[in-house]
Structure 1
Amino acid sequence: MASDVELTAMRHAIALSACGFGTTGPNPPVGCVVLNSRGAIVGRGYHRRKGEAHAEVRALSDAGPAARGGTAVVTLEPCNHVGVTPACRQALIDAEITRVVISLIDPTSRGDGGAAMLTAAGIDVETDVLRDETLAVLGPWLTATLRRRPYVIWAYALDDGQDDAMTAQLVRYLRASADVIAVNKVPDEGIPGGHSAAHFRLPANADFDTGLVPWLTAAYSGGARSVLLAGHGYADAIRDDLHAVDEIIIAVRRNVRVPTDATASFELVAVWPGWDWMTLHFRQHQREEM
């Protein structure tokens, strides 16, 4: 069972992993914390973008020799394959880590996963630590990866004809969490220039002439694992494809009727009140199994 020190370190790793939002696609946002043999934090790292060091390697580099005999606490199972970068499980073995605490097992593992290989190397491995909390960051990537279509958030404002400014405010608040954002049918990176140009490409204009799902499939092929559609103008275009939308975020003035037609298959999960506006957060009732 994970110790209190390890649980605290895992929450630290989860927070670190969120630093990769909007830039890691097609890779997952992962965080890692290294504890020395006395339980003190000596290394921290997160994955920034595909082609660069993974979270474990960055945390081990930060820790240096202090990692020897210590514990690596990581949000996703260390990779076991050599791709653009070396396998993380080997980096942990070479650093003489004696224990690895993992939150989520990677469903994309090729052959035996990193956890199995670490165990075979004599390292103590514990999994499923704070799984639900880690899903706050990794959930969209996992959903997208398992169904091979990006996780989609549709955000818009409803007002008395002055919704553009509030939609723009929603975009500023949400865009950094998405690989791709589409405003007025024009796609852009959630964080402009944030992805590796060698491993990511934007989809074509988001006019959805052939439907939302084909456009999302193209976005996924280009490396996007999360998409933000901004503006109520998408309502007609995606009415028949609402099953492909995972979350809806609606900002409404307090004197405006709360919409219900587009959210019939969604559950209300949060309400954020403001002086003049309130923001409603809906999520699909049926989410992909992870």
Structure 2
Amino acid sequence: MRKFLICTVTLGLIASCTVEDMDDNVSIQNSDKENFEIFNSLDGAMDSFDIISEKAFEDVQSSSKSFQESCVSVELLVSNQENPLPGFEEYDYYSKMILNYTEEQCQFDDWTGKLEYYVAGVFNQKWKDSTIFKNVRGNDGHMFDGYRVAEQNEALSTETIKVFDVVIDGVITEPNGNSYRYTANRNFAFENRFTSEEVITLQESSSVEGITEAFFMKSESVDGAPLVYKVACFNRYNFLKYPVQGSLDFSSSFGINFNIDFGDGACDKEVILTGDNGESIVFDL
């Protein structure tokens, strides 16, 4: 319970004050929900930038030779010995694609900006890709300036389940101009990848730190309860917006701490938010 000082002033300018108790459960829950929605919108925007990386890989994979034009440059099998790429020391060759959609004649359907994409080990189970975003603005209005690196975890991958470790670091800006430093360490497991039965299991640790406003929040996967996404639940790509299972703990520098439970695997958008006080609210993503 919060204490509120309630004062009344009579015509004779004599103040009379009393202390009254007011239930603050609702205000705490609303504050939790608002901060979760900020975090979730930024996390969703990063999923959109991941899709840009995936499309870039598809373009590289479909290329049969090197080519260059005003907006796109592709080089296949670049010698790492002749042109060393930091972080790719264990690879003899890599491929790269530069997408420069900053000029008027180079507009793309989903985004604008400049993207440098590098990939190696595609066919030998040692996959690694690196994407550098330079003021890339998605069609939802968010902008990202930073990098994303993904590497296949050979020790955990099997013939049917591919596991990738992902690191993200950069500045993401909302359409309203608010900017945040976004960092994340993710571990993805893909089962039945690129099929209608695809299931993604995700464990992650992420943080968002305000640049244009005071804001700092961290999220951490709950042990034994990774996030689960199912293609069968929602349309392709949209499924990345709605985990259907798993749990995340949130903490912040301003005393807001809560848990989000995404459910038991059923195909819905319902989540349960539980605050430090043990009170819970249910809402849809």
Q: Which has the higher strand share?
A: 2
Scaled by the length of structure 1, what TM-score is found? 0.24
Scaled by the length of structure 2, what TM-score is found? 0.24
